[in-house]
Structure 1
Amino acid sequence: MPDPTEVRLAEYGAVLLGADQLTPRDVERLRALQARGCLSLDQAPAGWRLKADATVGILVLDRIRLVIEPKFAIPGEQLMSWLAYALGTPTPLPATARRWATGPEGYADLVAAALLEQCEQLVREGLRRDYVRRQSLEPVLRGRLDIAAQVSRRYGQLDQLRVRTFDRETDIEDNRVLGTALRVARTLATHPDLVRDLHAIADAFPQAPTPDAALRALDRTRYTRLNNRYRTAHTWARLLLRGGGVTGLLTDDGMTADGLLLPMPALWEAVVRRLTTEATAPHGGRTVLSSGATGITVRGDLGSTSAFRPDVLLSLPGHDQSARTLLPVDAKYKRYDRYGVGAGDVHQLLTYSAGYTPSTGPRAVIVHPCSGGHSHRVLRVSGPQGSLGSIHVLGVDTHASPHQAAVWIRSALLWADW
């Protein structure tokens, strides 16, 4: 079967595809992704018009290999460090220190390389073994004789024995999920040296029956001192097996393998959540729930009750240490370094400020990605009766490291004197 034709487009970009470039199975899968808000697919006079949303990554279809490149927010060489930061995992070794090279858009190779790096380390340290129960036919007695099977299947013959053994083996779930993820990574990687290394290391790991079985095993996994060293490898494996959906980061709707797509708004929300938490923690700040008693709800309308929930709700110490104030923070994956804040976002942040902050000085925060240095501006909203509130718009330079950004966020929030 010939290799799929590579089709590239930028995040938010569009491309025209011929009618013969998509099979009915491809169309069905793209429609499912459209329902998730990852892209849109419309019929055109000569075929199909495919438009990407705020999604980047790779999707391997029957006849094409679709590559959606990051357009502006996080450069390719920095995307892995920000992704690792959002996931709370160690940043992989730089691509320049590896035996392969990746282009700015080749983050699927970098995710595969991150998994490979962790698996190589596990093999060097020795794969974890655990007791596995087996039933087998042996020429000598090992373990425990299965009397019922010996009588019913061997009819009393003793030249071969039905036995039950309980031996320590590497064929356990912790290793099987990695073996499955390595085989999925081979289908997504483009650099031949990386594909070869993935193929070589995969032979050291057992494999689950299907990617779905591996995902179910990951969902059952609980980390103890025995398998805690597998946690980082499992994080990258889950990312590959879910095609980009990460528990606690992105929403998984069952799409597995053959693709690695990251919804960038969800990634940015996870980044902002960690940035603001780390920035305020040294000064007594903490995150609180924005639901229940601390939620903003709308009742009395047609249909069910609705709610307004900021991405992050910070509880900060006031000048009087016995009193604390709330500060709503919203992550916006938008070009607010080049364009003004939209009216809808202003209305949303004013609602947050009215619901959570003191009436004497209602305020809220927007955090957006930018390039060319961090930025901080303040929108002041007023009406005939006076001030309605202020909105601090913080632009985080994604060319910097996440930890540098956290330090800057801390200084910006302290300078604002909440």
Structure 2
Amino acid sequence: MPDRAEIRIGEYQSVPLDEGRLTTRDVDRLHALRSGGHLTLAANRSGWQLKAGASVGVLVLDRVRLVIEPKFAIPGERLMDWLAYALGAPAPVPAPARRWATGPDGYADLVAAALLEQCEKLVHEGLRRDYVRHAGTEPVLRGCLDFAAQATRRYGQLDQLHVRTFDRDAGIWENRALATALKAALTLTSSPDLARALRGVTHAFPGPATPAGALRALDRMQYTRLNDRYRPAHAWARLVLRGGGVTDLLTDRGAGADGLLLSMPALWEAVVRRLGTEAGVSLGGRAVPSSGTTAITVRGDLGNASAFRPDLLLSLPASGMAAAPVLLPVDAKYKRYDRHSVGAADVHQLLTYGTGYAPGGDPLAVIIHPSPGGHTHRVLRVGGPQGRPLGAVHVLGVDTRVVPAESSTWVASVLTRTRH
């Protein structure tokens, strides 16, 4: 990897760049990332002003290696737990065996190392082989004779036969997608040891495909008992290959810059959806869609009708003798509400959710935000004139230093109290 100047900034921070730091190709790639809300690039008198958004990670450009750090750190081992939890993939290996470290390379090296360990495991077990179509020439007839190729390329000569065969081979998409991801991961890491290990395991896989082709194959992948062991490796491969997006966490904007950018708000929404769903199931409830008959809609304005949709809507058994289940809206906020008061816009939003899903009852809604200092819980009670209650918003801070399963249990305990 060529030497590049490393620039480190935090979420929502900006940094000036001299005009010579960015090539024309860099400028085009950064502008492509702007549409996804990852960052903004504006020209100024001395060159450029680059401002990060809510995405963190590593961006490898022609002359610059940009590292965008999160507002608050999650320990490296715990970060992988939360990423795996959000992706719905099992943690690659047991915690004591991990070689991940929280260093200056941050998220990119962590994910590359996770991909490496899963690929090493597959190589050790033996790569899956399946029948693959091949077209080539043979001295004897194998498979099917390609009459058109034989007639137009050999002109009646029979010393070599153009044939089409199906042979068991490792060059299937399960393996080729991983080879593509391993090659992409090499551009993300600056650790010599990790880069050497990535090169070593890459040789065990068949030739890589294009990133776009590999992603299409991964999106179409169907898992059976024959290839289910590939599922964790493919989850990390998608994370690497998207670069500016993950299927379940981000929207892929087709950005061409090499790098790994995680949208922290989208990541947190995925975490909260799973946390809340698991907590609701443990209480005998379930997640329900917030569209269709359960949608909160706005009509009568210019254009089409719009809708208010919480990140998660839980249907929970009602306490006491009430027969109808309680609909509880839950919204994910990637904000430090353990240190700051809840913004007025968020209060208005949650009151709308609570009123919409508790007509004639006590409006209730839940905010879940990250809280690296420990679990927190407080209740905002909104009142009108003469003290008339308008609704309550429970603000839950989830400790990101603990394992997700422990957080799910704590969320369930708080939701139990909200119904009494």
TM over 0.5: yes
Decide whether the 8 Å contact of 2:56 with 2:262 is kept in 1.
yes
**Structure 1: which amino acid aligns with 2:124?**
R
- Structure-1 residue corresponding to 2:193: 193
Q: Residue 246 of structure 1 aligns to a residue in which SS? A: coil
Q: 1:86 to 1:245 in 2, by over 3 A?
A: same
- Structure-2 residue corresponding to 1:276: 276
**Structure 2: which amino acid aligns with 1:348?**
Q
Q: Residue 3 of structure 1 aligns to a residue in which SS? A: coil
Q: 1:240 to 1:2 in 2, by over 3 A?
A: closer
- Structure-1 residue corresponding to 2:403: 401
Q: Residue 16 of structure 2 aligns to a residue in which SS? A: strand
**Structure 1: which amino acid aligns with 2:382?**
V
- Structure-2 residue corresponding to 1:27: 27
**Structure 2: which amino acid aligns with 1:192?**
P
Decide whether the 8 Å contact of 2:367 with 2:395 is kept in 1.
yes
Decide whether the 8 Å contact of 1:287 with 1:312 is kept in 2.
yes
Q: Residue by residue, what CA displacement relative to the aligned partner does 1:27-68 show, whole Å, maximum 9, x if unpaired?
A: 222122222211122223322221111110011111101001
Q: Bigger CA drift: 314-323 or 225-234?
A: 314-323
Q: How far apart, in 1, do the equivalents of 2:31 and 2:99 lie?
A: 38
**Structure 1: which amino acid aligns with 2:392?**
S
Q: How far apart, in 2, do the equivalents of 1:248 and 1:321 lie?
A: 37
Alpha-carbon offset, residue 132 of structure 1: 1.2
- Structure-1 residue corresponding to 2:165: 165
Q: Residue by residue, what CA displacement relative to the aligned partner does 1:272-306 show, whole Å, maximum 9, x if unpaired?
A: 00001111202211111111110011111112211
Q: Residue 12 of structure 1 aligns to a residue in which SS? A: coil
- Structure-2 residue corresponding to 1:288: 288
Alpha-carbon offset, residue 257 of structure 1: 6.1
Q: How far apart, in 1, do the equivalents of 2:75 and 2:360 lie?
A: 40
- Structure-1 residue corresponding to 2:414: 412
Alpha-carbon offset, residue 174 of structure 1: 1.0
- Structure-1 residue corresponding to 2:218: 218
Q: How far apart, in 1, do the equivalents of 2:345 and 2:100 lie?
A: 45
- Structure-1 residue corresponding to 2:230: 230
Q: Residue 181 of structure 1 aligns to a residue in which SS? A: helix
Q: 1:147 to 1:52 in 2, by over 3 A?
A: closer
Aligned-pair identity in percent equals: 67
- Structure-2 residue corresponding to 1:371: 372
TM-score, with length taken from structure 1:
0.95
Decide whether the 8 Å contact of 2:61 with 2:257 is kept in 1.
no
Alpha-carbon offset, residue 417 of structure 1: 2.6
**Structure 1: which amino acid aligns with 2:296?**
I
Q: How far apart, in 2, do the equivalents of 1:147 and 1:337 lie?
A: 73
Alpha-carbon offset, residue 399 of structure 1: 1.1
Q: Residue 188 of structure 1 aligns to a residue in which SS? A: coil
Mapped pair 1:138 → 2:138: yes
Decide whether the 8 Å contact of 1:240 with 1:257 is kept in 2.
no
Decide whether the 8 Å contact of 1:298 with 1:307 is kept in 2.
yes
Mapped pair 1:106 → 2:110: no
Q: Residue by residue, what CA displacement relative to the aligned partner does 1:164-188 show, whole Å, maximum 9, x if unpaired?
A: 2211101111111000000000110
Alpha-carbon offset, residue 142 of structure 1: 2.4
Q: How far apart, in 1, do the equivalents of 2:75 and 2:406 lie?
A: 16
The aligned length equals: 418
1:351-370 matched pairs, under 5 angstroms: 351-370=352-371
Alpha-carbon offset, residue 136 of structure 1: 1.6
Q: How far apart, in 2, do the equivalents of 1:12 and 1:94 lie?
A: 34
Alpha-carbon offset, residue 14 of structure 1: 1.7
Q: How far apart, in 2, do the equivalents of 1:277 and 1:46 lie?
A: 50
Query: Pick from 385, 391, 394: which aligns with 2:393?
Result: 391
Q: How far apart, in 2, do the equivalents of 1:334 and 1:100 lie?
A: 27
Q: Bigger CA drift: 131-140 or 296-305?
A: 131-140
Q: How far apart, in 1, do the equivalents of 2:149 and 2:38 lie?
A: 54
Decide whether the 8 Å contact of 1:288 with 1:314 is kept in 2.
yes
TM-score, with length taken from structure 2:
0.95
Q: How far apart, in 1, do the equivalents of 2:2 and 2:318 lie?
A: 65
Decide whether the 8 Å contact of 1:95 with 1:110 is kept in 2.
no
Alignment RMSD (CA, Å): 1.9
- Structure-2 residue corresponding to 1:317: 317
Q: How far apart, in 1, do the equivalents of 2:24 and 2:2 lie?
A: 18
